[in-house]
């Protein structure tokens, strides 16, 4: 029989895990911002198919070397291979649609459209994962999305056809996130990271090879090879975050990516953020900090109850 002390200790540990998951998710979206900025820069001189192909091939190489997967073949065991393959294809489609979109849109525009994903993730997490979001988390997500609307001001700048690509990318990413949470409960994070790269690389190889254009200088080579590091680290952090925490808790922190995107847009591409971008970014950060505050408050309350 569980004692009150045992229950309180478990609750405190769960709260600590959620805070760790939030940190991992925040790091993941930072990596994704770096990946998108790199892809947009490379798109000026290289085909999208080639960028996507190198992104996944280098992803495989880095993951193999970092985790020495030849020493741990058990990480490839899975009870749900069908979901593994579908998840990997969704990741590939997310990447292809997104890389095509950043050719034509500003980074802040693409990531703002991607921020519809938390709505989809939060809505689907209930019926598919039995992880139902409470009212306060829904309100935090809505407030964060209002911040995105302040930044983008849809309807004031006209609809660009490439936004359809971002919408497709967002939809694929939302379902990819749900499947990540499903598989994270039973499969190895390292195996999930490696297998997603293998499936995606195999699918895009014919197109990547056919479109190959040799980079002009070492700088382009380095940036091209860095795509696998950005993507691999980001998705490993994303997987680990979903091992530790329910999807609705993490969803609001996807919004922090707009901060990184706005900064990279300014420093790399000269996109100067306006007053609406700064106001919207403040709203987004505030919504994420509110959830963080709630998680920390819950953790403190549980520790006090345990001590009493």
Task: Identify the residue whose tokens are 């994962």.
Answer: 129
Q: What is the DSSP letter of 253?
A: G
Give the mean model confidence (pLDDT) for residues 31-51. 94
- pLDDT at residue 307, rounded to an integer: 45
Torsion 31-215-169-268 (CA) sign = positive
pTM (two decimals): 0.79
Residue 45: how many CB atoms within 10 A of its CB? Answer: 12
Per-residue pLDDT of 252-295, as tens digits, reads 787 788 888 888 888 888 887 777 777 877 887 787 777 667 65
Per-residue pLDDT of 227-244, as tens digits, reads 999 998 998 898 889 888
CA distances, 30 to each of 156, 221, 231, 257, 285 (Å)? 28, 22, 10, 6, 14
Give the mean model confidence (pLDDT) for residues 59-88. 87
138 burial type by CB count under 10 A (0-12 exposed, 13-18 middle, 19+ buried): middle
Going by C-alpha positions, the residue among 32, 70, 62 that lies closest to residue 193 is 62
Contact, 101 vs 162, CB < 8 A? yes
pLDDT band for position 297 (50/70/90)?
low
Q: What is the DSSP letter of 215?
A: -
Torsion 59-62-66-71 (CA) sign = positive
| DSSP secondary structure, 209-263, as one string | HHT----SSHHHHHHHHHHHHHHHHHHHHHHHHHHHS-HHHHGGGGGGHHHHHHH
Going by C-alpha positions, the residue among 125, 115, 116, 122 that lies closest to residue 136 is 122
Give the mean model confidence (pLDDT) for residues 204-210. 95
Give the mean model confidence (pLDDT) for residues 94-101. 94
Residue 203: how many CB atoms within 10 A of its CB? Answer: 19
Task: Identify the residue whose tokens are 């829904």.
Answer: 138
**pLDDT surpassing 90 at residue 88:** yes
48-81 core/surface letters (b: 16 or more CB in 10 A; e: else): bbbbbbbbbbbbbbbbeeebebeeeeebbebeee
Q: Could you give the CA distance from residue 180 to residue 192 in angstroms, rounded to a whole number?
A: 8
Contact, 225 vs 69, CB < 8 A? no
């Amino acid at each position: 029989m569980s004692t009150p002390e045992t229950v309180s200790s478990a609750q405190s540990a769960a709260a600590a895990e959620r805070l760790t998951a939030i940190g991992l998710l925040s790091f993941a979206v930072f990596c994704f911002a770096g990946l998108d900025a790199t892809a947009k820069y490379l798109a000026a001189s290289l085909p999208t198919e080639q960028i996507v192909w190198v992104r996944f091939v280098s992803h495989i190489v880095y993951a193999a070397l970092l985790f020495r997967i030849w020493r741990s073949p058990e990480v490839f065991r899975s009870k749900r291979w069908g979901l593994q393959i579908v998840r990997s294809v969704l990741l590939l489609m997310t990447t292809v649609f997104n890389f095509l979109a950043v050719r034509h849109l500003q980074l802040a525009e693409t990531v703002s459209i991607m921020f519809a994903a938390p709505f989809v993730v939060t809505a689907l997490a209930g019926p598919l994962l039995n992880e139902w979001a409470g009212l306060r988390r829904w309100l935090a997500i809505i407030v964060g999305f209002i911040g995105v609307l302040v930044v983008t001001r849809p309807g004031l700048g006209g609809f660009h056809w490439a936004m359809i690509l971002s919408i497709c990318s967002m939809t694929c990413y939302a379902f990819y996130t749900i499947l990540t949470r499903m598989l994270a409960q039973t499969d190895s994070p390292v195996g999930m990271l490696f297998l997603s790269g293998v499936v995606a690389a195999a699918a895009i190889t014919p197109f990547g090879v056919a479109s190959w254009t040799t980079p002009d200088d070492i700088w382009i080579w380095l940036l091209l090879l860095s795509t696998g590091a950005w993507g691999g680290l980001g998705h490993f952090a994303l997987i680990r975050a979903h091992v530790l925490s329910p999807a609705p808790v993490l969803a609001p922190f996807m919004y922090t990516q707009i901060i990184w995107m706005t900064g990279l847009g300014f420093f790399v591409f000269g996109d100067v953020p306006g007053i609406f971008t700064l106001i919207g970014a403040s709203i987004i950060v505030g919504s994420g900090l509110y959830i963080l505050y709630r998680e920390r408050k819950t953790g403190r309350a549980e520790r006090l109850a345990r001590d009493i």
